[in-house]
Amino acid sequence: MTNNSKPSTMTTAATTSGTHPGYMPGFGNDFETEALPGALPQGMNSPQKCNYGLYGEQLSGTAFTAPSHQNERTWCYRIRPSVKHSSRYTRIDLPYWKSAPHQPQDVTSLGQYRWDPVPHSDAPLTWLTGMRTMTTAGDVNTQIGMASHIYLVTDSMVDSYFYSADSELLIVPQEGTLRFCTELGVMDIAPQEIAIIPRGLVYRVEVLDGPARGFVCENYGQKFHLPGRGPIGANCMANPRDFKTPVAAFEDREAPSTVTIKWCGQFHETKIGHSPLDVVAWHGNYAPVKYDLNTYCPVGAVLFDHPDPSIFTVLTAPSGVEGTANIDFVLFRDRWMVAEDTFRPPWYHKNIMSELMGNIHGQYDAKPKGFIPGGMSLHNMMLPHGPDRNAFEGASNADLQPHKLDNTMSFMFETRFPQHLTEFAAKEAPLQDDYIDCWESLEKKFDGTPGKK
């Protein structure tokens, strides 16, 4: 526990009855929840006067006119309207948090890259000051593309709040436990879980068990949703009921406070005299959500061959081109390998998509060494990659009995846009200069002899 890690108290219906506030199951459900009885209007959104003297306010996550299957909005009933959580803005600098387009002149993004875990800092770092951008892609101003970040967090935000107008954040913890106190409720997130914080949602991040380190995919584009399963059917992969959205919770707190806003890649502060986390009740389908990656049910080859890694997609964010994602979030978890007469690890390839991977824990099958928990790798657009020599020789000569890939959990942020390194990724983060050499010892085996293997 760190100095500022005292967890917050927020009022919920459940805490007033002495039980854990809990979560509501489902992905993109039309939820309703209230922290005080009768706070939520029934049968309408905008009564002439709301109960308890609350203000009614809509948070629109999509255009009003978005198709109904994509339309997302939430009605909030709050102590003060959001205009009271906003005053004059002052530009501030968070020098390690970058947004696309960002292509430093003296940084070469072309290449296959791998990093050791970014070490924790001796300095106290919050969710804002501890964010380290590794790559950016697309353009934040036109709302396409993404950025990948590492976070290093030692200290809780105190009387400090944040929201991103630019993006939803997909958070993948690797060490430590964080508490996200949001306008719509409280989520605790530990390694092997993920969370999504929607664009525009105000929150504060506290450290429950630190220091905390993890990965963030900042999605500038359309929201993540569950991929279609196609012929797989109605079950397996990520099942909607395993996603959890917090129940309503609020704080009625008067204290000098700062709200930081990320807007078009720039950071701004505004000063207010109270907590903005004052939503007493809400209903709608635009809300934060968390998910336990251990509930992901992988589907794969049961006779021969190695399917495309898209079969392990947990969430996908569309780009406007059908089947070509702005971002896919893909999970490589423990699973059985049973394919016959098959090279079982990922094959060699070049890809129009750009692949950024992170290791949450354990050992990844295509790179048994060097890609370690907390580490990342980048295989950018149309750059070849694949197993190293040891992985190739081992898999080519293995006795192909059923084999459990155990103690492994890695992920990929895959985007249709090339990813550009930040100066931090190229110069400060622990880049492995020798990564490219992992393919050096692959042998030429061909000599024209038919049947040679």
Give contact residues for Fe ion (rule: CB under 5 A).
355
CA distances from 151 to 92, 191, 370 (A): 19, 13, 21
Query: Of the candidates 72, 135, 129, which has an alpha carbon nearest to the alpha carbon of residue 289?
Result: 72
By CB atoms closer than 10 A (0-12, 13-18, 19+), residue 434 is exposed
Residue 185 CB neighbours (<10 A) = 28
Query: Of the candidates 134, 135, 145, which has an alpha carbon nearest to the alpha carbon of residue 325?
Result: 145
Given the complex with Fe ion, which of 308 and 437 has the nearer CB atom? 308
From the candidates 306, 361, 379, 420, give the one annotated as an active-site residue: 306
Given the complex with Fe ion, which of 355 and 388 has the nearer CB atom? 355
Given the complex with Fe ion, which of 306 and 361 has the nearer CB atom? 306
The angle subtended at Cα 12 by Cα 187 and Cα 14, nearest 5°, is 95
What is the C-alpha to C-alpha distance for residues 332 and 348, in angstroms, rounded to an integer? Answer: 17
Structure tokens at 186: 């409280």
* DSSP state for residue 76 in the 8-state scheme: E
As measured in angstroms, the least distance from the Cβ of 202 to Fe ion is 37
Say if CB 177 and CB 190 are below 8 A apart: yes
Given the complex with Fe ion, which of 266 and 363 has the nearer CB atom? 363
As measured in angstroms, the least distance from the Cβ of 327 to Fe ion is 15
Structure tokens at 113: 């890259």
Structure tokens at 191: 């390694």
Given the complex with Fe ion, which of 193 and 355 has the nearer CB atom? 355
As measured in angstroms, the least distance from the Cβ of 386 to Fe ion is 8
Does the active-site annotation cover 403? no
Taking CB positions, which residue lies at the least distance from Fe ion?
355
As measured in angstroms, the least distance from the Cβ of 145 to Fe ion is 19
What is the C-alpha to C-alpha distance for residues 313 and 194, in angstroms, rounded to an integer? Answer: 14
Helix (H, G, I), strand (E, B) or coil at 223: coil
Active centre residues (catalytic) = 306
